[in-house]
């Protein structure tokens, strides 16, 4: 089954660039493990939510707003698409994610196939 | 014959559904076909007599029915393949085949899936009662005091999540097993408590939950005989249940442990609970359910309230607090300390809890303070505590009990 892991981190927390993540020992062992198992089918590290622009359309008017679609204490900092046998495997991977260990959270959503 | 089928239903329902879910992968179809098999049993057993292994007969009948349904629906190649797999999965019913170990595993698979932590707790409880215990949706709805439509919806959502989120139908692997077993035991314990909290005759559906919880705990104890906490939970439930009828008097009023008629306690159940606990403790891996069972055993094996070994109970609560760091456990310890070392010592522990504030909305905190003060003869202060507890209490029987105590203290 395919799942998307939404990696959520607290607003105001540290912002690591992809280069910094690649060198951070907290991340490297996780990344190596994921690469080794071949379960990751895609994903991305996203720029901070302050760089987001949200589009809404009302009638024929396009409304732009600065920031993410919901203001909350956490925001989506990245996502991974994984393919594993079942939810238990997906939860196992999510619970080892460095963001989950570092005060953030990971939402595990099955892909609608 | 109705009695034979009813008995088979209680014994075999969970097993039949569990096996059918494994072979069809379809929860609704499994329930439907199990229901069908029991309806057929009523006819066929009347004519041919009760088969030697009713469970195997029912499973085979339900499986054949599922195969029919899938064949009829098999329009696409995928469905046909499913039907073929189902047909191949197990051979025809052989009355001499005594090996039912696979069937046993199915029930464990079912309970671990029903109690998966990715499901909301109410759904875990409802699903366990429906699929494993065979209660109907209206029965479960009545037991949890929610409209039938709400309960039906809850069950539909849970089954949908199992399918869509890919919750596996299996006994968890070793690295997840301890944590998941704790989760399963938690569901059974919750089920029991729902029933135990019910006190009046009108709550009969709810008191049945106690019997269902004990039945499930027995199944678990048979399936996981090496897990001391499973035995510990069964011992705890059996010991609590032994006192059930004496907790309320004829008028429906609450009777405290101290004033309960000990001659009316169920001796056979108390002996069984004590024996189960002993077996569990011999495994040498103590846990919270075994400790709670030990506390229950301290109460049920004391011939009179005065002979209760409160020092032992206080020590056991201290031990329990190491496993379950909860303020409620510490409040219980305060009661035991108050009884063994004197009210002053108990009161000091209650005051600690009051300062921490975690239990500020819990009626038993002021009620405990009030009870200690009452025993010390400080009726005026005790009355204040009972009045405060009355502001917080929700259960009617408990309210009437607190009102009675309050009146006693005011007139003292």
Tell me the DSSP string of chain A.
-EEEEEEEEETTS----HHHHHH-HHHHHHHHHHHHHT-EEEEEE---GGG-EEEEEETTEEEEEES-SS--SEEEEEEEEEE-SSHHHHHHHHHHSHHHHTT-EEEEEE---
B280 to each of B232, B287, B292, how far by Cα in Å?
Answer: 6, 10, 12
- A93 contact B CB<8A: no
Report the candidate in B6, B9, B11, B31 with the shortest Cα–Cα distance to residue B215: B11
- Residue B77: the pLDDT is 63
The token pair at B39 is: 């309806």
pLDDT string in tens for chain B (412-residue length): 788 888 888 889 999 999 999 999 999 999 999 999 999 999 999 999 999 999 999 999 999 999 888 888 876 666 666 666 665 555 444 444 434 444 457 889 999 999 999 999 999 999 999 999 999 999 899 888 889 999 999 999 999 999 999 999 999 998 999 899 999 999 999 899 888 876 544 566 677 889 999 999 999 999 898 899 999 999 999 999 999 889 888 887 889 999 999 999 999 999 999 999 999 999 999 999 999 999 999 999 999 999 999 999 999 999 999 999 899 999 999 999 999 999 999 999 999 999 999 999 999 999 999 999 999 999 999 999 999 999 999 888 889 999 999 999 999 7
pLDDT in tens, B89-117: 554 444 444 344 444 578 899 999 999 99
- A113 contact B CB<8A: no
Report the candidate in B389, B409, B410, B411 with the shortest Cα–Cα distance to residue B399: B389
Q: Which residue of B has its CA nearest to A83?
A: B166
- A111 contact B CB<8A: no
**ipTM topping 0.90:** no
As a whole number of angstroms, the distance between CA B280 and CA B286 comes to 8
Report the candidate in B356, B386, B358, B359 with the shortest Cα–Cα distance to residue B371: B386
Give me the half-sphere count of Cα atoms (radius 13 Å) on the Cβ side of residue A111: 15
Count up the domains in chain A and report the number.
1
Q: Produce one character per residue of B336-359: b if its CB has 16 or more CB atoms within 10 Å, e if not.
A: bbbbbeebeebbebbeebeeeeeb
Q: Of how many residues is chain B composed?
A: 412
Other beta carbons within 10 angstroms of residue B392's beta carbon come to 16
Q: Is the Cβ–Cβ distance between B217 and B272 less than 8 Å?
A: no
The neighbouring-strand residues paired with A6 are A79, A107
pLDDT in tens, B384-399: 999 999 999 988 888 9
- A48 contact B CB<8A: no
Q: How many H helices and E strands in chain B?
A: 19, 0
Question: In which domain, by residue range, is A10 found?
Answer: 2-110
Other beta carbons within 10 angstroms of residue B95's beta carbon come to 10
- Residue A15: the pLDDT is 84
Which residue in B161, B163, B166 has the most chain A C-beta atoms within 10 A of its own C-beta, making it the best mutation to test that interface?
B166
Phi-psi sector, B261: left (phi>0), alpha (psi -120 to 50), beta: beta
Q: Is A87 in contact with B164 (Cβ distance < 8 A)?
A: no
Give me the half-sphere count of Cα atoms (radius 13 Å) on the Cβ side of residue B100: 20
Q: Looking at CA atoms only, how far is residue B277 from chain A in angstroms?
A: 33
Phi, psi dihedrals of residue A55, rounded to the nearest 5° = -110, 130
As a whole number of angstroms, the distance between CA B224 and CA B226 comes to 6
Q: Which residue of B has its CA nearest to A90?
A: B166
**H/E stretch holding B262:** none
Q: Is the dihedral of CA B334, B339, B344, B347 positive or negative?
A: positive
Which CATH number goes with the domain that contains A105?
A: 3.30.70.1060
Q: Which of B116, B166, B172 is facing A1, going by the closest CB pair? A: B166
Residues of A in contact with B166 (CB under 8 A): 1, 3, 85-87, 90, 110
Percent with pLDDT over 90 in chain B: 70
């Amino acid at each position: 089954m395919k799942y998307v892991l939404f990696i959520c981190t607290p607003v105001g927390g540290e912002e690591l660039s992809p280069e910094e993540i690649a060198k951070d020992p907290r991340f490297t062992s996780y990344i190596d493990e994921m690469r080794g198992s071949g379960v990751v089918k895609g994903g991305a590290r996203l720029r901070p939510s302050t760089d987001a622009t949200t589009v809404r359309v009302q009638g024929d008017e396009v409304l732009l707003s600065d920031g993410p679609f919901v203001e909350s204490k956490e925001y989506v900092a990245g996502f991974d698409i994984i393919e594993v046998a079942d939810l238990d495997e997906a939860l196992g991977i999510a619970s080892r994610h460095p963001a989950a260990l570092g005060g953030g959270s990971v939402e595990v959503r099955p892909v609608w196939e | 014959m109705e009695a034979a089928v009813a008995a088979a239903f209680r014994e075999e329902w969970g097993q039949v559904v569990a096996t059918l879910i494994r072979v069809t992968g379809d929860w609704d179809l499994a329930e439907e076909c199990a229901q069908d098999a029991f309806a057929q049993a009523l006819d066929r057993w009347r004519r041919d007599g009760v088969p030697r292994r009713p469970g195997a007969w029912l499973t085979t009948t339900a499986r054949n029915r599922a195969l029919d349904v899938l064949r009829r629906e098999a329009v696409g190649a995928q469905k046909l393949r499913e039907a073929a797999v189902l047909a191949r999965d197990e051979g025809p019913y052989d009355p001499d085949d005594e090996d039912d170990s696979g069937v046993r595993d199915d029930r464990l698979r079912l309970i671990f899936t029903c109690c998966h932590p990715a499901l909301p707790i109410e759904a875990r409880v409802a699903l366990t009662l429906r699929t494993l215990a065979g209660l109907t949706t209206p029965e479960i709805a009545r037991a949890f005091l929610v409209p039938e439509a709400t309960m039906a919806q809850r069950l539909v959502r849970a089954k949908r999540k199992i399918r869509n989120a890919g919750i596996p139908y299996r006994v968890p692997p070793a690295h997840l097993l301890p944590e998941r077993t704790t989760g399963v035991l938690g569901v059974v314990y919750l089920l029991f408590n729902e029933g135990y909290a019910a006190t009046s005759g009108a709550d009969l559906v709810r008191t049945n939950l106690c019997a269902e919880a004990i039945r499930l705990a027995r199944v678990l104890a048979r399936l996981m005989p090496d897990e001391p906490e499973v035995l510990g939970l069964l011992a705890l439930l059996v010991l609590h249940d032994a006192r059930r009828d004496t907790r309320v008097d004829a008028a429906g009023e609450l009777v405290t442990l101290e004033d309960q008629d000990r001659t009316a306690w169920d001796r056979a159940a108390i002996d069984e609970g004590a024996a189960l606990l002993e077996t569990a403790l011999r495994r040498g891996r103590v846990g919270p359910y075994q400790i709670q069972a030990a506390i229950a055993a301290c109460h049920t094996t004391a011939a009179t309230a005065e002979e209760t070994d409160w020092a032992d109970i206080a020590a056991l609560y201290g031990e329990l607090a190491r496993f379950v760091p909860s303020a409620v456990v510490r409040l219980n310890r305060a009661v035991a300390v108050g009884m063994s070392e004197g009210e002053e010592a108990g009161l000091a522990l209650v005051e600690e809890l009051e300062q921490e504030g975690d239990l500020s909305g819990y009626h038993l905190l002021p009620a405990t303070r009030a009870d200690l003060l009452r025993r010390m003869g400080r009726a005026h202060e005790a009355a204040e505590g009972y009045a405060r507890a009355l502001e917080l209490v929700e259960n009617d029987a408990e309210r009437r009990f607190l009102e009675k105590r309050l009146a006693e203290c005011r007139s003292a």
